[in-house]
Amino acid sequence: MSGATLAERPAAPAPDDALRARILALRDGLEHGLIGCTGLVERLLIGLLTGGHLLIEGAPGLAKTRAVKRLSDGLDGSFARVQCTPDLMPADLTGTTVWRQDAGTFEFLAGPLFHSLILVDEVNRAPPKVQSALLEAMAEGQITVAGITHPLPDPFMVVATQNPIEHAGTFPLPEAQLDRFLLHVVVEMPDEASERRILDLVEGELNHHAEAMAVKLSVEEIRAARAAALDVYVSPALKDYLVRLVAGTRTDAAAPELRAAIEHPASPRGTLALMLAGKARAYLHGRDHVIPEDVADLAADALAHRIGLTWRAAAEGRTSRKIIQELVQRVRAL
């Protein structure tokens, strides 16, 4: 028997600490294979912890698809990838009902939306009918085929990608669908130091097998982590800050010149999205409460795709993200 007394032995970590350690191990595994993508990794985990959907935008070759595939390697749930094209049909996502002549009955064959994590690549290439089918899945957690509603798995998360360069053969996402994405993440070009490390990483993977994820979260762990993140405290003062920030897109109280550039302001869903994302970020940073920095860091990703600019503001080259970033600088937490 060990000579150490019970009092001298380190206490076992609390279940919540052990679970957070698993989440952080997943984060480390993602960052190891995604050089210079710390912000993207954090947003993917925020989506996972909130059950929200993500829209990732960036030029080709910035590891958008790789990021989602690597996330799937760290989860024990099912994964499917859909490559959008202009001739895609709703049944290619939802599935279809077929007649089984031997049994004399109709049978539903589930499509790729019946997986826990869905990568919808180049979502803006999908025609409107497909986007409508995707909207029901994202909004309601269900799909309807031939008049019959089928529930989707829990957890269920959609990560869609699009690139801002090509516009031929694309269908801009309708505002209702954009509003269903918790975050709209813009991936920028890497700096020279990061790109040099990317060369070493890819060369190593070409010469050897890519390093496997060190952790694989179970469905039960994902649900428990979501409950823990949801339990993060948001003070009344911070809730007031959230409301004032989003209200700045609707009224002239905070910044009249910024409000004048906004044609369509953010709805209360934007406020809810920012609060939930802030809770998840606080959880990832080891805090049991949300702070103003959580809100400021996520505001552009949570709100920019939920506002529409006037034609004059667009003609002047202003963007929704810059407007929200300026608004964050104007509206201060009390």
* Structure-derived torsion over alpha carbons of residues 113, 115, 121, 122, reported in degrees to the nearest 10: 30
| DSSP assignment string, 113-179 | GGSSEEEEETGGGS-HHHHHHHHHHHHHSEEEETTEEEEPPSS-EEEEEE-SS--TT--PPPHHHHT
Q: How much is the average pLDDT of 10-36?
A: 80
Contacts of 6 by beta carbon, 8 Å cutoff, 6+ apart:
none
Which pLDDT score is estimated for 44? 97
Residue 229 or residue 206, greater confidence: 229
How big is the chain by its Cα radius of gyration, in Å?
Answer: 22
For the residues of 310-330, what is the DSSP string, one character each?
A: -HHHHHTT--HHHHHHHHHHH
pLDDT of residue 67: 93
Separation of first and last alpha carbons in the chain: 57
pTM strictly above 0.85: yes
| Domain range summary for the chain, segments of one domain joined by + | 232-334
Q: Does the pLDDT of residue 9 top 50, yes or no?
A: no
pLDDT tens digits, residue range 118-173? Answer: 999 999 899 988 988 898 899 999 998 888 889 999 999 999 999 887 666 678 88
pLDDT tens digits along 224-267: 999 999 999 999 999 999 999 999 999 888 788 898 999 999 99
- What distance separates the 2 farthest-apart alpha carbons in the chain? 78
| pLDDT at 53 (0 to 100) | 96
Tell which residue, 58, 43, 282, 63, has the closest CA to residue 157: 43
The pLDDT score that the predictor gives to residue 5 is 39
Q: What percent of the chain has pLDDT over 70?
A: 94
Q: What is the average pLDDT score of the chain?
A: 89
Q: Identify the pLDDT of residue 254.
A: 79
DSSP conformational letter for 72: H
Q: Please tell us whether the domain made up of 232-334 is placed in CATH 2.60.40.10.
A: no
At position 199, the amino acid (one-letter code) is L
pLDDT of residue 138: 92
- Identify which has the larger pLDDT, 147 or 322: 322
For residue 6, pLDDT over 50 is answered with no
Contacts of 84 (CB under 8 A, 6+ apart): 120, 121, 122, 123, 124, 125, 126, 130
pLDDT, greater one: 6 or 263:
263
